[in-house]
């Protein structure tokens, strides 16, 4: 329905809620991305403690190249840290003349392909005479372990709505039009029109407002096998990559399950 680098809206058909939720959970908790895990503070006389700065660094989304890095648990170095499983960053800022703000863009990466998704995330403010010098190491991880490794900010689905209007019963009172908080309905050419049914969030305000008795002239329902997914990336990975990777992970899990059953 809509596709941008960091945003995807799509309809997935012929699945059930269990599978839709499995896909959602895989995108949130199983698709890996890079985040800062270890920080060595060389100098910090800012007003923030080392731990708070390290925490803030960990939450900065980093552009991730999944082809070039592996999870530390799957690396030949057994998690010790090597160029295959970690990226080093350095930061060296000092407020010499007056107050300055240290931003995510001040992090210098050893790999030009890996950088903060946005250079404008404030880390700390330094006043004259304060200095922040540190080394940081980013590693791949999954959201299941820590939210900083979640590649998505929004990842949700809802049923595909169906809005039906029985024009024979409709009294043209327009109550449903004004009741809808999402302006889905309008009154044109002497009848109620549905403009953007996709925006419906099933609040049922239109049904409640309808004065037709005993059966309402407007009825909201949904397709039980069709879902609208909204996926918004943190900037770590393109939204499309997150969806495809999640499918791959789900398939892998099913394959493992199949093999385990066979060998039981």
**Interaction site with Zn ion (CB under 5 A):** 75, 77, 82, 84-85
Write down the residue that tokens 């309402």 correspond to. 216
Q: Closer to Zn ion at the Cβ: 37 or 132?
A: 37
- Alpha-helical runs (H) found in the chain: 17-29, 50-58, 175-179, 205-209, 239-262
Residue in 130, 17, 40, 127 with CA at minimum distance from that of residue 89: 40
Q: Closer to Zn ion at the Cβ: 80 or 166?
A: 80
R_g (Cα) of the chain, nearest Å: 25
* Closest CB 198 distance from Zn ion, rounded Å: 45
Cβ neighbours of residue 61 under 8 Å, at least 6 residues apart? 33, 35, 116, 117, 118, 234, 235, 236
Q: Closer to Zn ion at the Cβ: 141 or 235?
A: 141
Q: Closer to Zn ion at the Cβ: 77 or 203?
A: 77
Peptide linkage before 58 cis (omega within 30 of 0): no
* Closest CB 75 distance from Zn ion, rounded Å: 3
* Closest CB 80 distance from Zn ion, rounded Å: 6
* Closest CB 147 distance from Zn ion, rounded Å: 23
């Amino acid at each position: 329905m809509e596709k941008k680098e960091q945003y995807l809206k799509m309809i997935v058909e012929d699945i059930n809620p269990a599978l839709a939720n499995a896909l959602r959970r895989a995108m949130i908790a199983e698709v890996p991305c890079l985040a800062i895990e270890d920080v060595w503070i060389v100098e910090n006389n800012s007003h923030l403690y080392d731990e708070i700065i390290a925490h803030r660094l960990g939450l900065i989304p980093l552009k991730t190249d999944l082809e070039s890095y592996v999870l530390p648990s799957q690396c030949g170095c057994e998690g010790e840290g090597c160029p295959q499983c970690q990226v080093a960053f350095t930061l060296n800022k000092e407020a010499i003349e007056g107050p300055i703000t240290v931003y995510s863009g001040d992090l210098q990466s050893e790999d030009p392909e890996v950088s903060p998704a946005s250079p404008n995330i404030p880390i700390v403010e330094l006043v004259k005479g304060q200095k922040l010098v540190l080394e940081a190491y980013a590693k791949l991880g999954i959201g299941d372990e820590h939210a900083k490794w979640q590649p998505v900010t929004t990842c949700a689905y809802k049923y595909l709505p169906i809005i039906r209007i029985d024009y024979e019963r409709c009294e043209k009172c327009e109550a449903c039009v004004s009741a809808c908080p999402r302006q889905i309905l309008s009154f044109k050419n002497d009848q109620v029109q549905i403009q953007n049914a996709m925006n419906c969030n099933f609040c049922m305000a239109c049904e409640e407002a309808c004065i037709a008795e005993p059966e309402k002239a407007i009825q909201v329902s949904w397709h039980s096998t069709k879902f609208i997914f909204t996926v918004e990336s943190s900037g770590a990975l393109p939204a499309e990559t997150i969806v495809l990777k999640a499918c791959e992970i789900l398939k892998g899990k099913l394959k493992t399950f199949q093999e385990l059953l066979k060998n039981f």
